[in-house]
Amino acid sequence: MKTVIIGGVAAGASAAARLRRLDEQAEITVFERSGYISYANCGLPYYVGDVITDPEELTLQTPEGFWTRFRINAKVHHEVIAIYPERKTVSVRNLNTGETFEESYDKLVLAPGAKPTLPPIPGIRSKKLFTLRTVEDTLRIKAYIEQHGAKSAVIIGGGFIGLELAENFHALGMDVTLVEAADQLLSPFDPDMASFIHSEVRKHGIRLMLGTAVTGFEETDSGLNVSVQNGSVLRADIAALAIGVTPDTALAREAGLALGMRGSILVNDRMETSVPDIYAAGDAVQVKHFVTGENTLLSLAGPANKQGRIIADNICGGDSRYTGSQGSSIIKVFELTAAATGINEVTARNAGLHTETVVLSPMSHAGYYPGGKIMTMKVIFEKETYRLLGAQIVGYEGVDKRIDVLATAIRAGMKAPALKELDLAYAPPYASAKDPVNMAGFMADNIEKGILKQWHLKDAEKLPTDGSVTLLDTRTEAEFSRGHIEGFVNIPVDELRERLNELEKGKPVYVICQSGLRSYIASRILEGSGFDAYNFSGGYRFYEAVMHDRALIKSAHACGMDK
């Protein structure tokens, strides 16, 4: 049996290698229009910033290596320009010679990936404006910076690639401005959690322009002018466009395959297209979101590799199924690590789900062991069922392992209170006896049992100021004096039992502390003394970070400048 694969990166290379492992006699040909196969898309920005210094490290396999180990015929600089399902052939152009030929197949795998989104604005084809998708793109950016001595850059787009490029340009000593049309970076995160990311970016001298759209580019002798919607012009040596990707599906459309959202290829859970013997995988296909069950596009390497493997299984007579994409992701932002899985609170609300969240600020490992660092964790679950929907963590050490545990819990269909039951590894240098994931479970369990009642950031502006409720800050006097929410009175938690007479019974009490722990203890004291108490989710540390970020964004918009 002969299988032809269009695209030799994540999904395509994975399908090819799995096919060989399952069928030693199969004839396998991969056509890849770039000069590289099986390369690490996610590592490309780090070559620009000299974190990865050898370009050969960007490729996991070579055509020669693929042939030697797997007897797979991988042809780079070969572009498939047409598919003929009726006669089961593809038309291929050799980009080095211009020669065009037809190749037959028994099974065809489409893994063309996605291409950078290019908006229809003036100057979009400027040679000083770069996109980053392939190894060649990376080499072009690196060569231009070195040859022209570029010292400044404007990056358009605050997603994963844009943020990684900003960090790596900064590592080269360049002056960097990051422009994003939305009011936050990294859309998988809720705006409140993104506040910590914004702070880290600003701390390292990146000029951050949120809520700002780019309207055009103009080349000059000295560089590039980037026009933005507030009327100002940003001047830089180069610019990079990273506003997202679009499924590269022209071939599929012309061949008559059924298409889905944004022109993506429709597949079933066996990764079969609407045309017999043609499969598709990776960034070009529409999938189901594991949490919501809704159609989605997710450009991530993990799902693409899994889908390629599933295709190979099914070509070889198996019955493998893709159960949906969850969107688990992680990114390094200077010293910070930010990770997410499932859906965020905004997405959940848009999907019509009624949510509850817990926000906590645990240490990365036991507090008494030196070197522990605070992380901020947000876990989202369905109000009625307590089904886990998603999680976000921003911190330093230990973020990766906690997000992976939560991703596993979501995939396993666990409910939020069940997180308390997880038996997780503990030693002082690595964790706490009550791991942060367990702590999230304890909090959800308390909510389910009615032991914990919460109020959230979105409630802060709605709190009555007419005296009908009591607003209580349970931090120390010194902490309170350094900053507090207007209208709150200060009674430290350790003095609360002796000062209960200062609070009027019959009024709900809204309680806050630095992280949420002392205010929870205070809430239990109050509940046990006949008060109706509500604990702030996240604590004053969380409140202050989000409100400071919002003030900076609002100020920048108001004065037409950016910070």
Q: Quote the distance between the C-alpha of residue 14 and its chain's center.
A: 23
Report phi then psi at 157, rounded to 5: 120, 125
Compute CA distances 280 → 84, 270, 305, 440, whole Å.
Answer: 16, 10, 12, 39
Compute CA distances 150 → 54, 238, 482, 537, whole Å.
Answer: 21, 7, 43, 46
Q: In this structure, are residues 497 and 524 in contact, taking their beta carbons and an 8 Å threshold?
A: no
Report phi then psi at 417, rounded to 5: -60, -25
| Bridge partners of residue 390, in order along the sequence | 342, 380
Judged by DSSP in three states, 324 sits in coil
The per-residue DSSP string of 335-387 comes to TEEEEEEE--HHHHHHTT--EEEEEE--BSS-TTSTT--B-EEEEEEETTT-B
- Using only C-alpha atoms, the chain has a radius of gyration, in whole angstroms, of 27
Q: In this structure, are residues 204 and 155 in contact, taking their beta carbons and an 8 Å threshold?
A: no
CA gap 387, 385 in Å, rounded: 5
Residue with tokens 């000069």: 35
The per-residue DSSP string of 208-222 comes to EEES--EEEEEEETT
3-state secondary structure labels for all residues of 34-88: CCCCCECHHHHHHHHCCCCCCHHHHECCCHHHHHHHHCCEEEECEEEEEEECCCC
113 Cβ partners below 8 Å, 6+ apart? 7, 9, 10, 11, 133, 248, 282, 283, 284
Rounded to the nearest 10 degrees, what angle do helices 399-411 and 436-448 cross at?
50
Question: Token pair of 360, please?
Answer: 């906590």
CB atoms < 10 A from the CB of 81, how many? 13
353 Cβ partners below 8 Å, 6+ apart? 292, 382, 389
Report phi then psi at 21, rounded to 5: -65, -30
Q: Which positions are annotated as active-site residues?
A: 42
Report phi then psi at 337, rounded to 5: -120, 130
